[in-house]
Each structure stands twice: as structure tokens, then as C-alpha cells.
Amino acid sequence: MSLTNASPSDAAKAAKEASHVLATLSEPDRNDALTAIHAGLTAAKDEILAANARDLEIARVAAESGQLSQSLVSRLDLGKKGKWEDMLKGILDVRDLEDPVGKVTLRIKLDDGLELTRVTCPIGVLLIIFEARPEVIANIASLAVKSGNSAILKGGKESTESFVSISKVISAALDKTKVPNGAIQLVTTRDVIPQLLDLDQYIDLVIPRGSNELVRYIKSSTKIPVLGHADGLCSIFLEQSADPKVAVDVIVDSKTSYPAACNSLETLLVQESALETIFPQVAEALIAKGVVLRCDAKAKTALASKLSSDFSAKLEDAQDADFDTEFLSLTLAIKAVSDMYEAIAHINTHGSKHTDAILTSSSELAEQFMSSVDAAGVYWNASTRFADGMRYGFGTEVGISTNKIHSRGPVGLEGLMIYKYKIRGQGHVTAVYGEGDGKKRFKHERLPL
């Protein structure tokens, strides 16, 4: 990894040149680099966490004055329970995955001695722009190296100490391997994002990791394809036949296990026939965890007659805007719906196509819900927090995509691959093929992989 203050153009050009070398390295060479990165970060834990603590101290002061959000501060904390361990585990998980490069996905015999194959290959150069989340550096570095892609990383000023510390360790580790130093670069020059977004001749894909404002800005400011999502507005539909314990456990986990995450629950849709049966138990469990419930009139009325006065006092009236809001905090919008079809319509209108779930005992309703909801992830009786590359078995991820082309959902190695077509012939030319007299016809025989 090169910690560079070079011009954006020079950094991108170096990354492009390095990508051509990286794409040809063997799997053992790429895996050796990941082993070295893991060992280096493990040895430098105290130093890196100390740097992260310095970032956190500044960020907390900024949050107190309203300059930073509390959700961003939470994402910045590398010492949060399990976060450091998950980062390191993700590197080894990626290393141990099957090599994604050079896999033959199609073989066709066009004619005798003329064969077409479709083969996976790296995208080329990735530009990752991120706020906070210092673990992104290790995640991206490991996924990029394993998939044969170069990566340019530009972090926010709130995580400067952390990412400089991490990048120095990774750079020293890569110096001992065959991976070119320019393949993974951390740009330290300030105010260069507009210039980077103009370099479509070198950069093949932009992956933003941060606030809605950041993602929207990037999507509107570049000709380079962008992979990512602006909002994580996840919903759960609580259907009348749901098991009460399942409902409580899944909804509480979805909302409270990490409220600042993009896969946390933001809207709860409750079937009207469940308002006075299952819903009060769910509401009590959420309030006990400190969640503020912003209820529409029907939901609030149902709870008022079931909850104690202490709990009822903590209910708030929902506004229309709440159902289009990613709170990223312990606030939950709640709406009563007549049936599953109204829930689906609400999600497809107000959701962000990230992750949505249904809680029900009916497999028929569950399958219909999962087919009808337009989202990257649709679950049945499971927490929305499962929307994660590590939990999917991808090792780690570069982010969650709500795009409808290329890759969708948690983006791991497969999402960082494209393909090329190769033809192997023996002097074949197109002029002899056609439908007229004396012309040859293609055989177009599918061959086993």
C-alpha cells in the first residue's frame, strides 16, 4: 500500500499500471500477501487502536458541538466489541475463499477447432471513498488483492490517524510480497475527490462508504460506474400469525444490536389484527431497550390500552417523513397496515431496496412477500442485520449494493469480478460463415465446464 500525496492523476495512473500486474499473479502469491497483512495488523494492534482513540477523542468533541453525528462516531470506533477481531478474521476468511480469478463460466464449440470461453477477470481499478469506518482499509485491501483489483482509498478527515496507522502497516506487509506497491493506495491529499471522480480513463468503479449525502454526491458527480446505496431504510412486516417470541427476538435484534448500521431496522409495519396480540410484547421489549417508538394513530391507540402508563408515556406520534427516514439511532417508525399487500406496497414505495423482512408462520405468505418486495435482501423470520458479507460467508465486503446491474446486496469477491470472452481457433475467419450457398453454419454446441 502506498500512502501517497501524489496528484490524483498520478495515483490513478500508478494504480492502473499495478492492476495489470496484480491481475496476472498466481493465487498463492495473492494469498501470501493477505497472510502478511493479517500478521502485520495483528502485531500492530496496540499502535493502531491508540491512533483510533485519538480520532475518537476529536470526533466525540465534534459530535458534542453538532459537527458530527453520533452514528458516525459509532462507526469510527475500531475498539468496539468484536470489531477488531472481525476485521482480522475477515482477512483470513477472504484468503481461504476459492480463487475468483480465471474461472471458466461458459464453453461453446463454435465450429471444429474454434472454441469460445467466458472467463472471470478483475474489474481493474476501484476507487473507495469512505467516512469513518477505519476497518474499510483492511476489508478493501484484502478483497482487492484476492480478486486481482487495484484500489485507491480516500478516507474522511475524522479517521485520519486510524487509516494512516493501518496503511503504514499494510504497506510494510506488501513490501515483502509480489503484490505491486501501487496496487493499493491511500490518498492523503485533501479536497481531491472531484479530481478523482473525473479520472474515468484510469478508474473503473467507485464504491462510496458513508453518509447518504456522500453517496448521492458521488452518484451525481462522475461518469464512472458507482456501486453502493444511499439509504439503508429497512422494514419488517409483522404478520398476525408470527410466533411472539420470534417476533420479539428478531425485531429487537434488528433495531438495537447496532442502530447505526445500514442494515438496522427503521420501519415496523404491523398487521392490524396483530396490534393487540403480538405487537404489545414487541413494543415493551423495544422500549425496555431504550427505543423511541414513533407510531401512527392506530398503532399508538392499540398500545395505549395495553401498556403501562410508564411505557405509554414514551410513545410519540409518527409524521409522514418518519417513514422515509433512516434514523441510524434508537428511533423506530411504526405503521399499522391491513394486510401483507399493503405492507409490500409501502416497502416498495418508501424503502431503499436494501433489506426487508416478514415475520409470519405462513410459508406461502413468506414466499410471496420475498418474491414481491423489491430489495437486495428479503428475509423470512430473520433479522435484517444478517445483511453483511461476513455473515453471508463472503469473508468480508466492500459495501452493500442496491444497484440493479452487476452486483447486489453485500459485495464480496464475486461482486469485484467481471468477465472476458476468449476464442481459440486455428486460423478461422468470419467470411466463410453465413446462411447462403457455400457458407458454413456455426455449431454452437455447449461444452461442459
Domains within the chain, CATH numbers bracketed? 2-227+411-418 (3.40.605.10), 234-392 (3.40.309.10)
- Whether the pLDDT of residue 4 is over 70: the answer is no
> What pLDDT does residue 226 have?
92
Please give the average per-residue pLDDT across 390-414, as a whole number.
Answer: 87
- Whether the pLDDT of residue 405 is over 90: the answer is no
> What pLDDT does residue 29 have?
97
Please give the average per-residue pLDDT across 225-230, as a whole number.
Answer: 84
Please give the average per-residue pLDDT across 172-178, as a whole number.
Answer: 93
At 297, is the secondary structure helix, strand, or coil?
helix
Number of Cα atoms under 13 Å in the Cβ half of residue 15: 37
- Whether the pLDDT of residue 332 is over 90: the answer is yes
Instruction: Tell which wins on pLDDT, 313 or 194.
Output: 194
Average pLDDT, the chain: 92
Instruction: Tell which wins on pLDDT, 404 or 16.
Output: 16
Report d(CA 136, CA 83) in Å as an integer: 11
Cβ neighbours, 10 Å, residue 103: 15
Strands (E), 297-431: 315-317, 331-337, 355-359, 377-380, 400-401, 409-410, 417-424
pTM of the model: 0.84
Which residues have CB under 8 Å from 299's CB, separation 6+?
270, 275, 279, 318, 334, 335, 336
- Whether the pLDDT of residue 2 is over 70: the answer is no
Report d(CA 316, CA 328) in Å as an integer: 17
Minimum mean pLDDT among 67-81, 289-303, 424-438: which range? 67-81
> Cα 266 to chain center, whole Å?
17
C-alpha cell at 346: 409501502
pLDDT band at 321 (very low <50, low <70, confident <90, very high): very high
Which residues have CB under 8 Å from 320's CB, separation 6+?
none
The kind and range of the H/E element at 122 are strand 114-122
Of the candidates 38, 93, 89, the one whose C-alpha atom is nearest the C-alpha of residue 413 is: 93
Please give the average per-residue pLDDT across 418-429, as a whole number.
Answer: 95
Q: Are 408 and 392 in contact (CB under 8 A)?
A: no
Q: Whats the size of the chain, residue-wise?
A: 449
> What pLDDT does residue 211 have?
72
